[in-house]
Amino acid sequence: MSFRRLTIAASCVVTLTACASSGAAPVTTQAPAPVVAAPTRPRPYPVTEPVPFRRAVDAGTRTRTGEPGPKYWQQWSKYNLAAEYEPTTGKLTGTGTVTYFNRSPRPLGVVQVHLYHNLFSNEAVRVEAVPLTGGVTVTQVTVNGTEVPKAGGGQRGYRINGTIMSIPMPAPIAPGDSTTLGFAWSLTVPPEGAPRGGRTDELAYISYWYPQVAVYDDVNGWQVDQYTGNAEFYMGYGDYDVAFTVPAGYLVGATGRLMNGGEVLSKQTQERLARAGTTDSVVRVVTEADRGAGKATAAGGKLTWRFQAKNVRDVAWGVSDKYAWDATRAVVGDRDGNGSVDTAAIYTFYVPGVPNSKWAEDARYARHSIEFLSNYLWPYPYPHMTAMQGPRSCGGMEYPMMTCLGGTQPDSFSLYGVTVHEIAHMWYPMQVGSDEKRHAWQDEGLTEFNGTQGENDFFPNRDAEAQDLQIYKQVAMSGMEEPLMRHGDRYDTGTGYGIASYMKPTTILITLRGMLGEEQFLKAYRAYGRRWLYKHPTPTDFFNTWENVTGQDLDWFWRSWFWETWTLDQAVKTVTPDASGTTIVIEDLGFTPMPSTVKVTRADSSSSTHQVPVNHWLAGNTTYSFTVGAGSPVARVQIDHDGYLPDVSTKNNGWVGQ
Q: On the CB side of 119, how many CA atoms lie within 13 Å of its CA?
A: 28
- Residue 396 CB, shortest distance to Zn ion, in Å, is 7
Q: Which stretch binds Zn ion (CB under 5 A): 213-221, 340-348, 447-455, 638-646?
A: 447-455
Q: Which residue, 447 or 545, is less far from Zn ion as judged by CB? A: 447
CA distance 197 to 229: 12
- Residue 528 CB, shortest distance to Zn ion, in Å, is 18
Which of 375, 252, 266 is CA-nearest to residue 321?
A: 252
SS3 562: helix
CA distance 406 to 458: 21
Residues in Cβ contact with 578 at an 8 Å cutoff, skipping those fewer than 6 apart: none
Please identify the residue of the shown chain whose CB is closest to the bound Zn ion: 1
Q: Which residue, 498 or 593, is less far from Zn ion as judged by CB? A: 498
Do residues 282 and 345 touch, judged by C-beta distance below 8 A? no
Do residues 109 and 169 touch, judged by C-beta distance below 8 A? yes
Q: What's the Cα-to-Cα distance from 62 to each of 417, 433, 561, 563, 626, rounded to whole Å?
A: 36, 15, 24, 22, 44
- Residue 492 CB, shortest distance to Zn ion, in Å, is 21
DSSP H or E segment with residue 457? helix 446-458
Torsion sign (Cα): 486, 491, 496, 499: positive
- Residue 397 CB, shortest distance to Zn ion, in Å, is 8
CA distance 46 to 485: 15
Q: Which residue, 447 or 592, is less far from Zn ion as judged by CB? A: 447
The identity of residue 1, as a single letter, is M
The identity of residue 552, as a single letter, is Q
Q: Which residue, 1 or 637, is less far from Zn ion as judged by CB? A: 1
Which of 257, 249, 259 is CA-nearest to residue 303?
A: 249
Q: Which residue, 449 or 557, is less far from Zn ion as judged by CB? A: 449
Residues in Cβ contact with 398 at an 8 Å cutoff, skipping those fewer than 6 apart: 1, 422, 423, 425, 426, 430
Q: Which residue, 1 or 432, is less far from Zn ion as judged by CB? A: 1
- Residue 337 CB, shortest distance to Zn ion, in Å, is 29
CA distance 325 to 12: 35
Q: Which residue, 87 or 406, is less far from Zn ion as judged by CB? A: 406
Q: Which residue, 416 or 655, is less far from Zn ion as judged by CB? A: 416
Q: Which residue, 381 or 396, is less far from Zn ion as judged by CB? A: 396
Q: Which stretch binds Zn ion (CB under 5 A): 232-240, 445-453, 582-590, 617-625?
A: 445-453
Q: Which residue, 387 or 568, is less far from Zn ion as judged by CB? A: 387
- Residue 93 CB, shortest distance to Zn ion, in Å, is 31
The angle formed by the CA atoms of residues 66, 71 and 73, to the nearest 5 degrees, is 90
- Per residue in 123-133, is it b (16+ CB within 10 Å) or e — as a string? ebebbeebeeb
Beta bridge partners of 120: none
- Residue 468 CB, shortest distance to Zn ion, in Å, is 13
Burial class (CB in 10 A: 0-12, 13-18, 19+), 356: exposed
- Residue 440 CB, shortest distance to Zn ion, in Å, is 9
- Residue 425 CB, shortest distance to Zn ion, in Å, is 6
Q: Which stretch binds Zn ion (CB under 5 A): 83-91, 261-269, 446-454, 459-467?
A: 446-454
Pairing state between β 342-350 and 384-390: parallel
- Residue 501 CB, shortest distance to Zn ion, in Å, is 8
Residues numbered 526-585 forming contacts with Zn ion, rule: CB under 5 A: none
Q: Which residue, 322 or 486, is less far from Zn ion as judged by CB? A: 486
Q: Which residue, 1 or 19, is less far from Zn ion as judged by CB? A: 1
Residues numbered 35-64 forming contacts with Zn ion, rule: CB under 5 A: none
Q: In angstroms, how far is the first alpha carbon of the chain from the final one?
A: 51
Q: Which residue, 223 or 447, is less far from Zn ion as judged by CB? A: 447
CA distance 509 to 105: 37
Q: Which residue, 41 or 421, is less far from Zn ion as judged by CB? A: 421
Residues numbered 405-444 forming contacts with Zn ion, rule: CB under 5 A: 444
- Residue 466 CB, shortest distance to Zn ion, in Å, is 20
Residues numbered 128-147 forming contacts with Zn ion, rule: CB under 5 A: none
The angle formed by the CA atoms of residues 316, 322 and 323, to the nearest 5 degrees, is 50
CA distance 307 to 444: 28
Residue 1 lies near Zn ion (rule: CB under 5 A): yes
- Residue 10 CB, shortest distance to Zn ion, in Å, is 17
- Residue 444 CB, shortest distance to Zn ion, in Å, is 5
CA distance 635 to 646: 25
Binding mask 176-195 for Zn ion (x = CB under 5 A): --------------------
CA distance 109 to 573: 65
SS3 360: helix
Q: Which residue, 447 or 544, is less far from Zn ion as judged by CB? A: 447
Q: Which stretch binds Zn ion (CB under 5 A): 1-9, 134-142, 513-521, 551-559?
A: 1-9
Which of 116, 99, 166 is CA-nearest to residue 437?
A: 116
Total residues at interface with Zn ion (CB under 5 A): 3
- Residue 389 CB, shortest distance to Zn ion, in Å, is 17
Q: Which residue, 409 or 447, is less far from Zn ion as judged by CB? A: 447
- Residue 392 CB, shortest distance to Zn ion, in Å, is 17
Residues in Cβ contact with 337 at an 8 Å cutoff, skipping those fewer than 6 apart: none
CA distance 636 to 626: 15
Q: What is the DSSP string of 474-510?
A: HHHHHT----SSS-TT--SSHHHHHIIIIIHHHHHHH
- Residue 535 CB, shortest distance to Zn ion, in Å, is 20
Q: Which residues contact Zn ion by CB under 5 A?
A: 1, 444, 447
